[in-house]
């Protein structure tokens, strides 16, 4: 039977498989993958149809698809009867004005966007001076962290010089004007490789500018580096090695936005841009002790970025504070005026105006999930819940939906990724990826070829049910609180498209950063960002990794 299956796979799935007809024995072997059992007569009847389908596949593969082409089907995360909540569309950042330039460049490198913005706007420091500090730190520490793929030094110095000239002439573009940042190396930037973290694409040059990079350039931000992504947006291992956690250099940074989180935590950039499909912003933000915002699906354009899953990919900021996340998000969200090609993007209002405490919010929390974790991490989570209460939070107990077939949802990501990387697998270039074990992206892409279209669509039907159930639950609250490792919350919210933010809560007994996650309503990131800001303002110790923060 194994030999039959192997023969069937070779016939159907390799490049140039136009010769050889599908026979009954191949169908009998293949049907077991899908848990089906057809009679001899039924197999005889379908054989001609399967060969006709195969002819269609062969015909399709004679054409080429540009990476920018997305399917004609578009995911809509909105439940039945959904209406965007009415909120204001202005924010109060309340930046410090009397701030002074610190004596230490190291201290300067770890300042927030608000602090740096105040210094630049008030001409106490130039963008060029700040940019050179970050470029120097990248050169000093990247061999240790492996968080940067490409230093965009020439571009950065040009952008910084332009920012200084504009500010000197009274032209101020806003809080990101002159602020150095890094972008995950899934985003195209002309003149620099866009490697997707993977061996087959090390020398890939894409002559377009990703929309989020264009938007930040228009805001006057300065791009200093393209930051590491786990190979094809999986994990923290890329073709250059494993990106490290600045708190523990024996540990990886976790999640495919590893470089974004690691570089931000180590003070190599003022902020960064990451992506998430299934935890790749929240997970490395937790590991590296920074604040990561995964916005609603469709909040930020993905144009010019590698696709992993059309219906799941999201773009968001990783910063050193919740307010910084809000500042960046307010600028990159929504449709742009530069030829938007991501049809999932929608415009909706956003405001960031934190109240004095949390008493005005209606907050749900998953008490059972917090109580179930009796580890040191769990105790920190319970302590965090108590801290939220001390800020006026009236926490109401909730439970996440349980009567849903969660194990099936993984096929959504895998099927869509398999389609995007079709040519990679058919040409066996997946064998060039450094990781080839059972948990590797290479293996995931190969097995994706055995997900039936019918089951992919069935999974999306159950996804619709999950959307309705979870939306009904969370719509009664301004946001909900879950433990970082709480059961299914990552899977649920990445399936439903709801926003979430990971905020640091302290350190465990091994000195590793801990966190908690707030989940907001669809297209309404404001309340959870405001709450995260109040929490950080009250309890953050502003501690940074010792090795990278020595003066």
Determine which one of 132, 184, 244, 314 is catalytic. Answer: 184
**Residues 21/51, Cβ–Cβ less than 8 Å:** yes
DSSP state of 209: -
Cα–Cα distance list, 311 to 73, 83, 135, 375 (Å):
9, 20, 36, 35
**Residues 472/79, Cβ–Cβ less than 8 Å:** yes
Please, where are the H alpha helices in 169-311?
A: 211-218, 258-265, 282-288
Active-site residue flag, 344:
no
DSSP string, 13-65: HSTT--SS---HHHHHHHGGGGT----HHHHHHHHHHHHHHHHHHHHHTTS--
Determine which one of 280, 303, 311, 321 is catalytic. Answer: 280
Determine which one of 256, 262, 471, 515 is catalytic. Answer: 256
**Residues 479/520, Cβ–Cβ less than 8 Å:** yes
Q: Which residue bears the tokens 């959307």?
A: 467
**Residues 204/193, Cβ–Cβ less than 8 Å:** yes
Active-site residue flag, 280:
yes
Identify the three-state secondary structure at position 282.
Answer: helix
Pairwise CA distance, residues 315 & 332, whole Å: 9
Please, where are the H alpha helices in 252-364?
A: 258-265, 282-288, 322-332
DSSP state of 222: E
Pairwise CA distance, residues 46 & 13, whole Å: 19
Active-site residue flag, 37:
no
Catalogue the active-site residues: 184, 256, 280
């Amino acid at each position: 039977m194994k030999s039959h299956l192997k023969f069937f796979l070779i016939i159907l799935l390799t490049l140039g498989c136009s010769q050889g007809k599908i026979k009954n024995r191949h169908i009998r072997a293949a049907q077991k993958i899908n848990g089906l059992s057809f009679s001899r007569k039924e197999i005889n009847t379908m054989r001609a149809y399967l060969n006709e389908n195969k002819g269609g596949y062969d015909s399709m593969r004679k054409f080429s698809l540009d990476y920018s082409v997305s399917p004609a089907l578009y995911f809509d995360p909105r439940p039945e009867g959904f209406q965007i909540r009415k909120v204001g569309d202005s924010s109060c950042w309340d930046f410090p004005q009397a701030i002074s330039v610190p004596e230490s460049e190291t201290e300067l490198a770890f300042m927030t966007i608000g602090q740096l913005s105040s210094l630049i706007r008030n001409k106490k420091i130039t963008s060029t001076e700040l940019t050179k500090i970050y470029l120097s730190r990248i050169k000093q520490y990247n061999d240790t962290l492996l968080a940067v793929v490409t230093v965009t030094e020439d571009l950065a110095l040009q952008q910084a010089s332009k920012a200084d000239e504009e500010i000197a002439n009274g032209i101020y573009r806003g809080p990101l004007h002159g602020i150095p940042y890094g972008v995950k190396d899934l985003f195209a930037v002309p003149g620099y490789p866009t490697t997707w973290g993977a061996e087959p694409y090390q020398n890939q040059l894409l002559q377009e500018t990703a929309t989020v990079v264009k938007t930040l350039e228009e805001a006057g931000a300065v791009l200093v580096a393209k930051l590491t992504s786990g190979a094809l947006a999986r994990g923290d291992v890329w073709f250059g090695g494993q990106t490290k956690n600045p708190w523990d250099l024996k540990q990886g940074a976790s999640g495919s936005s590893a470089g974004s989180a690691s570089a931000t935590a180590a003070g190599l950039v003022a902020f960064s841009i990451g992506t998430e499909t299934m935890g790749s912003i929240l997970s490395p933000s937790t590991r590296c002790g920074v604040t990561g915002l995964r916005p609603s699906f469709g909040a930020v354009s993905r144009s010019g970025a590698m696709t992993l899953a059309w219906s799941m990919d999201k773009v968001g900021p990783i910063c050193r504070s919740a307010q910084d996340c809000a500042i960046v998000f307010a600028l990159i969200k929504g449709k742009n005026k530069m030829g938007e090609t991501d049809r999932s993007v929608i415009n909706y209002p956003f405001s960031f105006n934190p109240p004095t405490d949390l008493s005005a919010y209606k907050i749900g929390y998953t008490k059972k999930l917090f109580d179930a974790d009796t580890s040191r991490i769990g105790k920190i989570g319970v302590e965090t819940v108590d801290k939220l209460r001390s800020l006026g939070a009236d926490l109401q107990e909730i439970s996440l939906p349980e009567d849903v077939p969660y194990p099936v949802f993984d096929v959504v990501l895998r099927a869509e990724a398999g389609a995007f990387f079709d040519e990679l697998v058919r040409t066996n270039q997946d064998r060039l990826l450094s990781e080839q074990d059972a948990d590797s992206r290479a293996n995931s892409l190969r097995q994706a070829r055995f997900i039936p279209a019918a089951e992919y669509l069935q999974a999306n039907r159950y996804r619709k049910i999950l959307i309705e159930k979870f939306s009904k639950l969370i719509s009664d609250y301004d946001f909900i609180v879950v433990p970082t490792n709480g059961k299914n919350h990552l899977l649920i919210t990445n399936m439903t498209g709801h926003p979430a933010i990971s905020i640091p809560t302290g350190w465990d007994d091994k000195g590793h950063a801990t966190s908690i996650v707030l989940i907001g309503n669809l297209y309404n990131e404001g309340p959870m960002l405001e709450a995260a800001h109040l929490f950080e303002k009250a309890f953050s110790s502003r501690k940074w990794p010792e090795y990278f923060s020595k003066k």
